[in-house]
Every structure is written in C-alpha cells, then in structure tokens.
Structure 1
Amino acid sequence: MDTPQHNQTRLKFTFLIASGTQRLVDIHPARLITVLADSEVEARLLAGMSSLIFVSRQAWDIGIDTPFNCSDMSTVQGVNHA
C-alpha cells in the first residue's frame, strides 16, 4: 500500500528572546528568533532556549490571505481540509 506524501509547508513561528520576568518596554534591543516547525511546541524545542516569548505565527502559514500578503485586498480564505 502506498503511503501518501506529506508535503505541507512548515509553519513559521517568531519568538522574542527574553525572560518571563522582563517587561517588554525594558528589552533593548529587541531580539527575535524565527523557527520553522509543525507546532509551537516543536518550534520551542528546535530553538533550544528556555526564555522565549511567543510573538506570531505568520498568517499565510495558516491559510489566510490578508491585505499584507495578498494583492487582492478583498480576499479572505480559510484552510480547506479534504
């Protein structure tokens, strides 16, 4: 039996490198790290740092077109599952 290929793009997670006790306004300069992973948990493991504050998962990675990543500003699409 053939195994279907998994060719889904990995998600892009961005974290701020800081401890949980720091105030965001006190972090100078802001240091960011971006990791490609299938989940936030995997991204944290791949980053290998304990002091990470989750910042974003980019919209086009979750199947949503926004004015920032789509030439047609009126289009909003969700993820389609087979």
Structure 2
Amino acid sequence: MTAPAGHLRSLGALRGCTVAAMLPVNDPGDRGHVYWPREHAAWHGCTPTDPIFPFFPFVVGVSVWLLVWAMDRRGIHLKL
C-alpha cells in the first residue's frame, strides 16, 4: 500500500503504536486486580505506563506544524 503524497509513514506508525499502547492503560479491566505495569505512579516514581501519553501530544504537535508549514508553502496563510 502506498502512502498519500506528503504523508509520513513514520508519524502514522508512531501515532498507531501510541494509541494501541494507551488502550490497555486506559481500560485495564477490574480495578481491584490491575497488573502493576498498567498502573500510573501515585505521585513520585514512574511505571512503564507513564511515558506513553507524552508521545500523543508530540504526534499532534508535529502534525499541526507540518500542516501549517505545507499551507505556508502553498501561499495559504491562516488568520487566527
């Protein structure tokens, strides 16, 4: 399968892996019996779950930046 012009497969793969990793974290099953790596750290510390979410805002930020850059190259200026 070929990607559309201007589409970064690596960004799409990172987004897909991030969402796939977020699903079991956000719905781990019975809250009384959660496997410890799927728990968020109470306050101090870090579990394997905690570094997953920052990838999502990163992907969104890169996507927005690429969209604005592409529109600017085409002469379309956004007025916010």
**TM-score, normalised relative to structure 1:** 0.26
Relative to total residues, which structure has the larger strand share, 1 or 2?
1
Whose Rg is larger? 2
**TM-score, normalised relative to structure 2:** 0.27
Specify which structure has the bigger relative contact order, considering alpha-carbon pairs within 8 angstroms and separated by 6 or more residues: 1
